[in-house]
Structure 1
């Protein structure tokens, strides 16, 4: 039995500790990523979602949402952007993508981790684009759809490939 298969059977406090551990591991990766300059404002590759993909089979949907919530709050507090539009965009994107990825993972024979990563990136970025329309009162976001799709393909591919290599090595 591998480490990640063992997590499925943890109960009670141990289960909470597992969620917190992976949330803070994901937070650490997100914090490192936040320290590097971005070629496009607000653009991140989303390396912290590697952790989410790795534990996708080990946690239930509500546990994954809790993981995302802990990650986003801890990074937002560390970088002093809690309760700002950036915080809400990241939280919305994270929750929507986790829901889509977990639903897709229920069809294990249909979707690979690479496809799940692509869908997670796309739904995260699209949900953030739609939310930004309301947060920033943008009149039209049609001009964002193609760049968001292209960025999602690139970032989802990077995260998916790294996740596959890490999952296979375990």
Structure 2
């Protein structure tokens, strides 16, 4: 749908009262930032910088409590679909960290009011989120050695929370979209010419991409895309997801390392057949890190020594078992979660609407530049908001809630 011809907020004022639609847009930006965050290098497989929580931080003063919680839940589900981690421990870490951070940020803001800046709100959310994830890591992956890396986790939360807080404060002060959403402005600063995408522009972008990558890389991408298309023809998204869920339960019940290793090999083959991207090198590095962390606390009979480190039988087998479980669930999730997966009910309608916005955000991703990031993100939000309308299901849900 083309953007409104007038930049007046009046053209879209009624849509800002549609909390379901606003929630879907903010969730879409959570998906987008999660995709970026997932690709960034990190010292631990579940460690995140927290930039995907930025839309939730902006929503602290914008959305009522019920919609605020819907946004947090939609962010977890959506980012798990985008990154292919829905059935993995990463989704568990994300769920715990996001929901705790959301509740803490909302509580701090409501308790302290505007006497507590968004910087303080962001820091509180980031630190508690990392603390919760560290607590889960203690019992799921690393054991008691988790407390050794807890200081790094908490310092990371402090730094990223501060940066996100300052960015949110600056964005709110300069964003036309946010001002309209909060009823503080009557005009959108929307330049229609910036939002137009032409077929020639897309074609030239594709040509530049082809020139940048080597022939071998392009052939691999084409082969992977062909496998993905064949897989999509054979299985519907919900069938693939249900199969993955059932297999995950069976996999988690396994105790023998050899059996887990066989499952792991099958999951890797499944991921390849589904046309999903993966890295065996990354798998080996992450697995080695999990095993090494468990070896730091000796347990059981000493097998051999590596300098001052005593490699004990129970610690080694426990570390290998946890590494296989962690990485196995990652591969299983990647293989079984397809982009077209939809959820039933009203919450599913929000997720579906959010993915429509997400697709439009992806189209504009090249227009955000580091030097003008606030202005570009604001323009992006305005163009995406103005170029789409909520689905009938989302509008009907809002009407019933009102």
Distance 1:137 1:168 in 2: 42
Deviation (angstroms), 1:40: 4.6
Matches within 5 A, 1:105-124: 105-106=109-110, 107-124=112-129
Distance 2:36 2:151 in 1: 28
The equivalent of 1:142 in structure 2 is 147
Deviation (angstroms), 1:140: 5.1
The equivalent of 2:159 in structure 1 is 154
Matches within 5 A, 1:16-31: 16-31=20-35
Matches within 5 A, 1:66-145: 66-106=70-110, 107-136=112-141, 138-139=143-144, 141-145=146-150
The equivalent of 1:15 in structure 2 is 19
Q: Which moved more, 1:87-96 or 1:138-147?
A: 138-147
Distance 1:142 1:135 in 2: 13
CA RMSD of aligned residues (A): 2.2
Unpaired segments of 5 or more residues in structure 1? none
Pick one of 56, 59, 63 that aligns with 1:55. 59
Matches within 5 A, 1:24-43: 24-43=28-47
Moved over 6 A (4+): none
Bigger Rg, structure 1 or 2: 2
Unpaired segments of 5 or more residues in structure 2? 1-8, 176-402
**1:66-97 deviations in Å (ceiling 9; x for gaps):** 11211111111122111211101011100000
Is the CA contact (8 Å cut-off) linking 2:138 and 2:147 kept in structure 1? no
Pick one of 165, 168, 171 that aligns with 1:163. 168
Q: How many residues align?
A: 163
SS at match of 2:51: coil
SS at match of 1:69: helix
CA change 1:71–1:36 in 2 (3 A) is same
CA change 1:146–1:39 in 2 (3 A) is closer
TM score, norm. by length of structure 2: 0.38
Distance 1:145 1:32 in 2: 24
